[in-house]
Amino acid sequence: MSATADNKLEASIGREVREFRKKIGLTVAELAKLAGLSIGMLSKIENGLASPSLATLKALSDGLNIPFTAFFRRYDEERDASYVPAGSGLTIERRGTRAGHQYQLLGHSLSKNVSVEPYLITLSDNSDVFPIFQHAGMEFIYMLKGKVNYRHGDRTYILSPGDSLFFDADVSHGPEELIKLPIVFLSIIASPHFPE
């Protein structure tokens, strides 16, 4: 039986109890004995099927030798997820975007101290002028289709489907020669983010 939305707090506490117990190498029976609980009750708590009293939580924290508040450490922590169905990424304008160069933002996260932006980039029109990018953070490129000569600083890399490139994005970079069109690649940019 899995925990439902109605017992989110119980499920969160249960996960914490199990994680701490395993971290210090105790069995369910050993922790139950230390906390003065039955094995069945401890199992129900760990599976989010029982709502432990404050006294029970205190006994468990003593048995695990952790602060009482440790059971609540991740309960209210925000969890982010972005779902983008095929073909429905947000088409955006980036410096260098023009006809034949499409950038689709597939998600975005500003959690903690890191900003992450995954893009699906399609280059379908040949051009003699290519955008040069330079920005904070790191970038990962994974080629899906086509062939491109990609510049990073003073080096170039010929990228074909299945090839990847991971680099410091504060060095000038961008496509130098579009060898086989259309070119489709995944670009994931991660950079520091300092919320105000």
Residue 80 lies in a domain: no
116 DSSP β-pair partners: 109, 190
Give the count of beta carbons closer than 10 Å to the beta carbon of residue 35: 21
Looking at the fold, whether 95 and 186 belong to one and the same domain comes out as: yes
Task: Assess whether 101 and 167 both reside in one domain.
Answer: yes
Q: Containing H/E element for 10?
A: helix 8-23
Number of domains in the chain: 2
Single pTM value for the model: 0.54
Q: Residue 79: what residue type?
A: R
Cβ atoms 13, 72 nearer than 8 A? yes
Going residue by residue through the chain, which has 196 residues, state the pLDDT in tens, using 9 for 90 and above: 444 445 788 888 999 999 999 988 999 999 999 999 999 999 999 998 998 998 999 999 899 988 888 888 776 655 566 666 676 666 665 555 555 566 777 776 655 677 888 888 888 876 656 778 888 889 999 999 999 999 999 999 999 999 999 999 999 999 989 999 999 999 999 888 665 5
Which tens digits make up the pLDDT trace of 10-36? 888 999 999 999 988 999 999 999 999
Could you say which of 44, 72, 100 is where a domain stops?
72
- Please give the residue range of the domain that contains residue 188: 90-192
